Chains A and B, each alone.
Chain A
Amino acid sequence: MKDTPLANCERDFLLKAIEEKKRLDGRQTYDYRKIKITFGTDYGCCFVDLGRTRVMAQVSCELVAPKENRPNEGIMFFNIELSPMASPAFEQGRQSELSVKLNRQLERCLRNSKCIDTESLCVVSGEKVWQIRVDVHMLNHDGNLMDAASIAAITALCHFRRPDVAIQGDEVTVFSPEERDPIPLSIYHMPISVSFSFFQQGTYLLVDPCEREERVMDGLLMIAMNKHREICSIQSSGGIMLLKDQVMRCSKIASVKVSEITELIGKALENDKKARKAGGRCGFAESIPQERITALKMEESPVEMMDVTERANDIVQKAEAPPQTVPSPVVPVPGVGQVGQGLQNTWGLEDDDEEEEEEEENGNRGEEQEGKASKMEKYEKEESRGGDVVEISDSEEEEVVILHPETSDKAPVNTGSRSSSHQKGAAKSKKK
């Protein structure tokens, strides 16, 4: 299924909001969405939530023959699976452009940066090495898949334990976890990808674009870094033209973000280690009773509540009382009737409009001259209008007026010089 195209007005709205430095979810330009890392029951299983983007990574291992040109190095294999579960735009079984792009980027980010010691994965040189396979599955697509995938993959690799092996002569024994404790992989550094999206030919820049923003962006720049401020890969995509300064600025932002995320991953791993040591239940099975895996759970979003009560009271007090009058049936011309606050019924009334406008101006001026329009007067006006309603049937002008009961201030003025003078008179009489 092809993605439904974005409506023009929605596109304009998003771009306009970005121009005003606003984002739909209330984030700042350089803010990440909330990152949550959870682990499965097994070693090497990791879920990452980035806002509503959800990704699962599973690491597995296998003994295989090494590649001919690298006889004493283990093999790393990465695969990103875009299942139709995550988004209806993903098709089953076809290598889409997006999946090639993500796969290669993940490979470049994790393999080419040599973050894992592949030589330690060799069992018998030239015969048997460990093949480490990282499968990343997209569960829900809400933009920025690359960052979520890279966090999930590196966290899963850190979490993973491979079985211990012993070699005696030609014999290789693989021990089950009960016999010998499994061994963690040796990881030199943790590359994490940070995505920047560009809008309006590179004028505006956002970190961590959500799905909507990704659809209106011009291009993307992905920078993978580790906490030692080493850049592991850079990739620009989409037909944008970057300038050198923009790239430099992005790399600076990326280094800050990466150190934050690395810290978070460290904490998550620490917590999981503690939980496992304590022998408590952990992982996926535990997430069901805790309702960790339902989309219906809403995160409480922080809303500024400082002086809301006072402000609301202020507004209520300043507001005038709603008109009490009940709209009465109107008969503009014989045979045409109208009740309520609907559109003005102009059947047979076309020629009255101009006159009315003029009168409105006059009336407004009159009001300004009167100056201190007190509540009393308003009350009066309402009353006077009530009077008008009674008089309905003899003049067409007045009937038009009643059709705007919500503009109670203007309503009596609209009735023309005759009625405004009448109203003034009424006000005066009341003052007396």
Chain B
Amino acid sequence: MAGLELLSDQGYRLDGRKATELRKVQARMGVFAQADGSAYLEQGNTKALAVVYGPHEMRGSRSRTLHDRAVINCQYSMATFSTAERKRRPHGDRKSTEMSLHLKQTFEAAVMTQLYPRSQIDIYVKILQSDGGNYSVCVNAATLAVIDAGIPMRDYVCACTVGFVDETPLADLCYAEESGGVSSLALALLPRGGQIALLQMDARLHQDHLETLIEAAMTACKGVSKVLDEVVRQHLQEVSVLTGE
């Protein structure tokens, strides 16, 4: 792709990061009183809200009930003002439906659904501002919300996108990099066991580079998991102070 130089000769990226550097992650848990669990997460300029309801009785069509585990219901939406061009439909188009599906799949792998037979867990995620890595930001925010709701998970699920430029993997792509024709790979990881809950890649990449790219994505995910862990611990401290224990 002509035009943008994604990685300078000195090894810096468009926004001044190093190749393996993540964007700044800031998060808060328990942002809504109504929901069972909620979280707000910023990763650079990408901002997302996640809300969890449940586990509760099945709503809507009861025929979807599973007798041995909980159903996870995900809805991904993007605020109309989240992108440079105003979005017409916040959810329901093919891309959002697919994103909802992927979120569902990720959390089916991570949440201990077998503890809640015949029930349902709703995860609603909304992108408030989109600047690349929407999927991974949603996963990270939803993880915090699920933890806030007190639903047991096998491990944190951390997601990260990784690009590949000039034989170098770039961690945590921003929008400019994503749209600059980089082959990008999104990966959701359960860091402790190194298990991949979701793997998705677009654009062309030679087979020989796959391993380095997955490796880089896993390292980035582990970095994210550290940040999330800190957020959870800090939140718990605050809560315990407030409740006077």
Contacts and interface: CB of A to CB of B under 8 A. Distances in A.
Nearest to B204: A230
Contact of A231 (B98, B108, B206): B206
Interface stretch (B9-17, B42-50, B189-197, B234-242): B189-197
Interface of B: 63, 94-95, 97-98, 101, 105, 108-109, 185, 190, 193-208, 210-211, 214-215, 218
Contact of A234 (B105, B199, B211, B215): B199
Nearest to A189: B204
A358 B203 CA distance: 76
Contacts of B215: 244
Contacts of A244: 194, 196, 211, 214-215, 218
A85 B210 CA distance: 39
A228 B207 CA distance: 9
B193 A238 contact: no
A106 to B, nearest CB: 11
A95 B100 CA distance: 14
A112 B205 CA distance: 12
A402 interface: no
A97 interface: yes
Given A112-B202, A229-B208, A244-B218, 9 more contacts: A95-B97, A104-B95, A113-B203, A230-B204, A230-B205, A231-B210, A236-B105, A236-B200, A244-B215
Contacts of B109: 239-241
Interface string A246-261: 0110011001000000
Nearest to B195: A241
A247 B197 contact: no
Nearest to B154: A241
Contacts of A243: 194-196
A247 B101 CA distance: 21
B200 A234 contact: yes
Given A100-B94, A100-B101, A241 B210 contact: no
B107 to A, nearest CB: 9
B97 A100 contact: yes
B195 A234 contact: no
A100 B208 CA distance: 30
B202 A108 contact: yes
B98 A232 contact: no
Contacts of B202: 108, 112-113, 233
B210 A247 contact: yes
Contact of A101 (B101, B198, B203): B101
A243 B109 CA distance: 13
B199 to A, nearest CB: 5
B204 A239 contact: no
In the complex, the 7 A-B pairs of residues with the closest C-beta atoms, listed nearest first? A241-B195, A239-B108, A234-B201, A239-B109, A242-B196, A229-B207, A236-B199
Contacts of A236: 105, 196, 198-200
A241 B101 CA distance: 16
A251 B185 CA distance: 15
Contacts of B198: 236
A104 B185 CA distance: 16
Given A236-B196, A236-B199, A241-B196, A104 B94 contact: yes
A238 B210 contact: no
Contact of B199 (A221, A228, A239, A255): A221
A235 B200 contact: yes
Interface in A203-222: 221
Contacts of B218: 244
A231 B200 contact: no
B102 to A, nearest CB: 8
A87 interface: no
Contacts of B98: 100-101, 104
A237 B188 CA distance: 12
Contacts of A226: 204
